[in-house]
A and B are shown apart, each in its own frame.
Chain A
Amino acid sequence: MTFTTKALVVLLALATTACTRPDRFGGADGADGMAGANAGAAANAGPQGAAGDPSSPQYFSQTIGDRVLFSVDSIALTPEGRSTLDGQAQWLQTNSDYLAIIEGHADEVGTREYNIGLGSRRANAVREYLVSRGVPTSRLRTISYGKERPIEVCSDESCYSRNRRAVTVISVGSMS
């Protein structure tokens, strides 16, 4: 993917701030994942706060749904996943001041480096879908955590299936 120069500059600048550094939040807040933490940070930074406010990042993560799940080794989007992403795309088009970082994750069944590649594919599958639904590429960035940031800790499919995910994290930003 190519960013416009301007967008890249903005994103790089944002990458140095706390609220859009994905790793800063690391998944420390458990099941809510990084999205919740980032949404909170965004809310604190901006005027929009309540989850009841359809233009808030909380609304995005809690009501629309910030994540899609994948089956083993797969990057295919499920019908539920597409439906979630349709909602995400619509929200992103309505709330055009926000950027999004799409985080790809894998379950623990795989080698560390391969899983980074796999997570990246998943993040990219989400990005391509959002772009196909009209979200400008320049507002989306991807990252993979491989198997480094599980949200579920058991070692069976009930957890693995929730860890194989791509999470769309809304961050504060403006393209202007």
Chain B
Amino acid sequence: MLTRIFALLMAVFMAAPALAQDGPLRLTITDGVIEPLPFAIPTFEAETSGSEQLAQDITRLAAQDLTNTGLFREIPASAFISNPAGFGTPLQFADWRAINAQAVIRGAVAVNGDQVSVKFRLYDVFTGEELGEGLQFAGTQQGWRRMAHKVADAAYSRITGEGGYFDSRVVFVSESGPKDNRQKRLAIMDYDGANLQYLTDSSSIVLAPRFSPRGDRVLYTTYESGFPRINVLDVASVGRQQVNTAEGEMAFSPRFSSDASRVIYSLTNGGNTDLYITDIASGQHTRLTEAPSIETSPSFSPDGTQIAFESDRSGTPQLYIMPIGGGESRRISFGDGRYGTPVWSPRGDLIAFTKQNAGRFHIGVMRTDGSEERLLTASPLDEGPTWSPNGRVLMFTRESLGASGTSSLYTTDVGGLNLRAVPVEGGASDAGWGPLQP
């Protein structure tokens, strides 16, 4: 029941009309504003002595993951009628119905040396049943945040019928220094800004890192050699090497194909920028475009058969799609203004983009045929969207203007709701959102 009705909510959410939902879950959508689903998450039981703090921390982080989506509202513990009994005991559904909790998450945490195990169960209060089977995650104390994210992913996934995205990482460009002497270095962090690590130093410009489909490697543009070239970096070892592209003055804007066998990128020769693909194993290069215009920001469709890219062949930058195996490209953006940085949704249904119009920048989405364009954000300078692994949230760069302008990362959901700053120390730009971790 919970799943079915929430799925309806998500479907409606895309179009965001006014709707009042009768029935047990009492979801109300009015003027595009969602009434978040109320849930309770009593502090997880500490099964071993000394695990109380960890149980508390994991509970709070899982709750934060869910509430930060804007789709869930946590009922505070002060409203609980009875103290929740132990993890293994039956849930007193009447007590949770009385406070209008529609879902209850219970869990237990045990610590054995450095090993932590987390058990969790999810209940649909109105049907009085458990939603899915109980789950158990094991990890190290240091990796406790991942276990909290996994709990939240499981709850989110069971309630919405969608994949989760909390146990994922983001690679980005960390920025420091004034605008006319900006230092840039690659960094990686959890999706929520925690566990930041630097992957390169700031001795040369780095741009637009993008994960491999499995999240083990990162492609990025670097001026390390003095001229823009494409590097691939192994996340675990932080070892990096230059990708052997076709010959040109500059190579930039790389992205992996969905099977990671190929790299697509822009190559510039004689001031003309075109798209190329290099097969990593064979080293074979294929030129995809031959126009005198700028072709850049290519992105594969999830099935690998098509690419979306940006071109100014019409006179202004616009979005195009073309089959990878050859054939005509077709323009898909026709609204006012300029369009760039198309990124194919991992679900395949939408293209996210940057739009410039009337002095403002927007992050938007449209269907792959260009229909149903929706602008999700507006600011003096927004750009570079990247999709959450489930295709429900976009992270992007927002830059403030003027001499003291700095870059920050923000997220919005595909409905254009729930705009949030990602807490990162210092400036941050060019996020590339990785896959759900195994």
Contacts and interface: CB of A to CB of B under 8 A. Distances in A.
Interface of A: 1, 15-16, 20-24, 26-28, 30, 73, 75, 108-114, 116-118, 120-125, 127-128, 141-145, 148-155
Given A27-B180, A28-B181, A155 B380 contact: yes
A150 B180 CA distance: 5
A116 B252 contact: yes
B354 interface: yes
Secondary structure call for the A interface: mixed
Interface stretch (B160-168, B220-228, B365-373): B220-228
A25 B337 CA distance: 35
B235 to A, nearest CB: 22
A75 B292 CA distance: 13
A125 B381 contact: no
Interface of B: 178-182, 184, 204-205, 207-208, 223-228, 249-250, 252-253, 266, 268-273, 294, 296-297, 310, 312, 316-317, 338, 340-341, 354, 356, 380-381, 383-384, 399, 401-403, 405, 430
B205 A148 contact: yes
A24 B204 CA distance: 7
B296 to A, nearest CB: 5
B408 to A, nearest CB: 15
Contact of B225 (A15, A30, A114, A128): A15
Nearest to B296: A113
A108 B249 contact: no
A27 B402 CA distance: 18
A118 B312 CA distance: 10
Contacts of B184: 148
Given A111-B384, A144-B268, A148-B205, A116 B296 contact: yes
Contact of A23 (B226, B297, B381): B226
Given A109-B356, A111-B354, A112-B383, A23 B294 contact: no
A109 B405 CA distance: 13
Given A23-B204, A111-B297, A120-B250, A152 B180 contact: yes
29 contacts: A1-B249, A15-B227, A22-B223, A23-B223, A27-B180, A28-B181, A30-B181, A109-B381, A111-B317, A112-B208, A113-B208, A113-B297, A116-B253, A117-B268, A117-B273, A120-B271, A124-B270, A124-B271, A125-B271, A142-B249, A142-B271, A143-B227, A144-B228, A144-B268, A150-B180, A154-B402, A154-B403, A155-B380, A155-B402
